[in-house]
Amino acid sequence: MSVRADAIGVDEPELLGLGVADDGSAEVPQDYDRVGRFDNGATQDRSGATVLLGHVDSRSGPAVFYRLRDLRAGDVIEVGLSDGTSARYAVARTEQVAKDRFPTFAVFGASADDVLRLVTCAGEFDRGARSYTDNLVVHAARV
């Protein structure tokens, strides 16, 4: 699978496969310049939700989803599927959420509709926790 969002200069020819880490949190790409897709492992998945995770920055500078914050309603994101076809999504809305009140099912939950959700970090960088306080979630719908 691949993802392309011209509005923010993202063009990733191959997505990493991500799952649930042993501590129950979401696995994230080890490479700051790669985008990962959450794979729930289902053999026959009827959910229409595609969830992509990417870093906002690395230790030294901006990372692949640094400009996610610049996506605006209507911006087009194209996802290349494993069967060679592609699906176009239009941004519907962006929300910034505190990690300690993360809307798990609004991001990772099943969806009857064909939707795309992109996630990166936002907010303040908490030095003690070595973690951003918030996540930025972009919701897009199939067009």
- The footprint of another protein (CB under 8 A) covers 16-30, 32, 36, 38, 40-48, 53-63, 65-66, 97-100, 102, 104-105, 107-112, 119-121, 124-125, 127, 130-132, 134-135
Compute the least distance from the CB of residue 87 to another protein, in Å: 17
- Strand, coil or helix: 91: strand
> Smallest gap, in angstroms, from Cβ of residue 134 to another protein?
8
Contact 100, 126 (CB under 8 A): no
Nearer to another protein, 89 or 134 (CB): 134
| Contacts of residue 80, Cβ cutoff 8 Å, sequence gap at least 6 | 1, 2, 3, 4, 13, 86
The least CB distance from residue 93 to another protein, in Å, is 18
Closer residue to another protein in complex, CB, 5/29: 29
How many of the other CB atoms lie within 10 Å of CB of 74? 11
Instruction: Using the minimum distance from each CB to another protein, give the nearer residue, 23 or 83.
Output: 23
Rg (CA), the chain: 14
Distance of CA 121 to the CA centre of its chain: 10
Residue 96 β-bridge partners: 136
- Give least dist CB 118 to another protein, A: 10
In terms of CB distance, is 54 or 140 closer to another protein?
54
Least Å distance, CB 121 to another protein, is 3
Residue number, 46 or 85, with CB nearest to another protein: 46
Residues 132, 121 contacting (CB under 8 angstroms): yes
